[in-house]
Protein backbone atom coordinates (compact mmCIF):
# COMPACT_ATOMS: atom_id res chain seq x y z
CA UNK A 1 0.00 0.00 0.00
CA UNK A 2 2.93 2.31 0.69
CA UNK A 3 4.24 1.86 -2.83
CA UNK A 4 0.88 2.88 -4.31
CA UNK A 5 0.68 6.03 -2.23
CA UNK A 6 4.28 6.94 -3.04
CA UNK A 7 3.53 6.39 -6.73
CA UNK A 8 0.56 8.76 -6.53
CA UNK A 9 2.67 11.34 -4.69
CA UNK A 10 5.42 11.12 -7.29
CA UNK A 11 2.93 11.43 -10.14
CA UNK A 12 1.28 14.43 -8.53
CA UNK A 13 4.67 16.18 -8.44
CA UNK A 14 4.63 16.26 -12.25
CA UNK A 15 1.17 17.76 -12.55
CA UNK A 16 0.10 21.24 -11.51
CA UNK A 17 -2.52 21.95 -8.89
CA UNK A 18 -3.85 24.81 -11.07
CA UNK A 19 -6.81 23.36 -13.04
CA UNK A 20 -6.03 25.34 -16.21
CA UNK A 21 -2.41 24.24 -16.28
CA UNK A 22 -3.43 20.69 -15.39
CA UNK A 23 -5.81 20.65 -18.36
CA UNK A 24 -3.03 21.80 -20.68
CA UNK A 25 -0.65 19.19 -19.24
CA UNK A 26 -3.16 16.37 -19.66
CA UNK A 27 -4.01 17.55 -23.17
CA UNK A 28 -0.35 17.51 -24.13
CA UNK A 29 0.04 14.05 -22.61
CA UNK A 30 -2.94 12.78 -24.60
CA UNK A 31 -1.58 14.35 -27.80
CA UNK A 32 1.84 12.76 -27.22
CA UNK A 33 0.27 9.34 -26.64
CA UNK A 34 -1.77 9.77 -29.83
CA UNK A 35 1.36 10.62 -31.82
CA UNK A 36 3.10 7.53 -30.43
CA UNK A 37 0.06 5.47 -31.43
CA UNK A 38 0.14 6.89 -34.99
CA UNK A 39 3.84 6.13 -35.37
CA UNK A 40 3.47 2.58 -34.02
CA UNK A 41 0.41 1.93 -36.19
CA UNK A 42 2.23 3.22 -39.26
CA UNK A 43 5.29 1.12 -38.47
CA UNK A 44 3.25 -2.04 -38.10
CA UNK A 45 1.15 -1.31 -41.16
CA UNK A 46 4.01 -0.45 -43.53
CA UNK A 47 6.02 -3.50 -42.42
CA UNK A 48 3.06 -5.66 -43.43
CA UNK A 49 2.59 -3.92 -46.77
CA UNK A 50 6.03 -3.72 -48.38
CA UNK A 51 9.52 -5.18 -48.26
CA UNK A 52 11.18 -1.94 -49.44
CA UNK A 53 13.29 -0.63 -46.58
CA UNK A 54 13.56 2.86 -48.09
CA UNK A 55 9.78 3.10 -48.47
CA UNK A 56 9.26 1.87 -44.92
CA UNK A 57 11.68 4.41 -43.45
CA UNK A 58 10.20 7.25 -45.53
CA UNK A 59 6.65 6.48 -44.36
CA UNK A 60 7.64 6.18 -40.71
CA UNK A 61 9.59 9.45 -40.86
CA UNK A 62 6.68 11.16 -42.61
CA UNK A 63 4.32 10.28 -39.77
CA UNK A 64 6.95 11.04 -37.10
CA UNK A 65 7.80 14.51 -38.41
CA UNK A 66 4.27 15.56 -39.42
CA UNK A 67 2.00 13.46 -37.17
CA UNK A 68 -1.50 14.53 -38.26
CA UNK A 69 -0.96 15.50 -41.89
CA UNK A 70 1.78 12.89 -42.31
CA UNK A 71 -0.56 10.10 -41.25
CA UNK A 72 -3.22 11.24 -43.71
CA UNK A 73 -0.59 11.42 -46.46
CA UNK A 74 0.62 7.96 -45.47
CA UNK A 75 -2.91 6.60 -45.90
CA UNK A 76 -2.88 8.00 -49.44
CA UNK A 77 0.51 6.62 -50.50
CA UNK A 78 0.57 3.24 -48.74
CA UNK A 79 0.23 0.10 -50.86
CA UNK A 80 -3.33 -1.11 -51.15
CA UNK A 81 -2.62 -4.72 -50.26
CA UNK A 82 -0.51 -6.34 -47.59
CA UNK A 83 2.22 -8.75 -48.61
CA UNK A 84 0.05 -11.68 -47.53
CA UNK A 85 -2.93 -10.42 -49.53
CA UNK A 86 -0.72 -9.86 -52.57
CA UNK A 87 0.72 -13.39 -52.29
CA UNK A 88 -2.76 -14.88 -51.93
CA UNK A 89 -3.94 -12.97 -55.01
CA UNK A 90 -0.96 -14.26 -57.01
CA UNK A 91 -1.68 -17.82 -55.86
CA UNK A 92 -5.35 -17.50 -56.78
CA UNK A 93 -4.44 -16.11 -60.21
CA UNK A 94 -2.07 -19.04 -60.75
CA UNK A 95 -4.73 -21.56 -59.70
CA UNK A 96 -7.34 -19.94 -61.93
CA UNK A 97 -4.94 -19.96 -64.89
CA UNK A 98 -4.26 -23.67 -64.33
CA UNK A 99 -7.98 -24.36 -64.00
CA UNK A 100 -8.73 -22.46 -67.22
CA UNK A 101 -6.01 -24.37 -69.09
CA UNK A 102 -7.41 -27.68 -67.92
CA UNK A 103 -10.98 -26.75 -68.80
CA UNK A 104 -9.88 -25.62 -72.28
CA UNK A 105 -8.06 -28.93 -72.80
CA UNK A 106 -11.17 -30.83 -71.71
CA UNK A 107 -13.34 -28.81 -74.11
CA UNK A 108 -10.93 -29.48 -76.98
CA UNK A 109 -10.81 -33.16 -76.12
CA UNK A 110 -14.61 -33.34 -75.96
CA UNK A 111 -14.94 -31.40 -79.21
CA UNK A 112 -12.59 -33.70 -81.13
CA UNK A 113 -14.55 -36.86 -80.21
Ordered by start, the domain boundaries in the chain are 2-80, 82-113
pLDDT of residue 112: 67
Which tops the pLDDT comparison, 79 or 9?
79
- Higher model confidence: residue 11 or residue 89? 89
Question: pLDDT of 53-94, one tens digit each?
Answer: 999 999 999 999 999 999 999 999 998 988 888 999 999 999
**Is the model's pTM score more than 0.85?**
no
**Three-state helix/strand/coil letters over 6-39:** HHHHHHHHHCCCCHHHHHHHHHHHHHHHHHHHHH
Amino acid sequence: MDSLSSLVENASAFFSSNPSVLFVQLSMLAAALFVVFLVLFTTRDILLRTHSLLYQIACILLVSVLPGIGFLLYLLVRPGLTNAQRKMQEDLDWIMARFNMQSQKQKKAAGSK
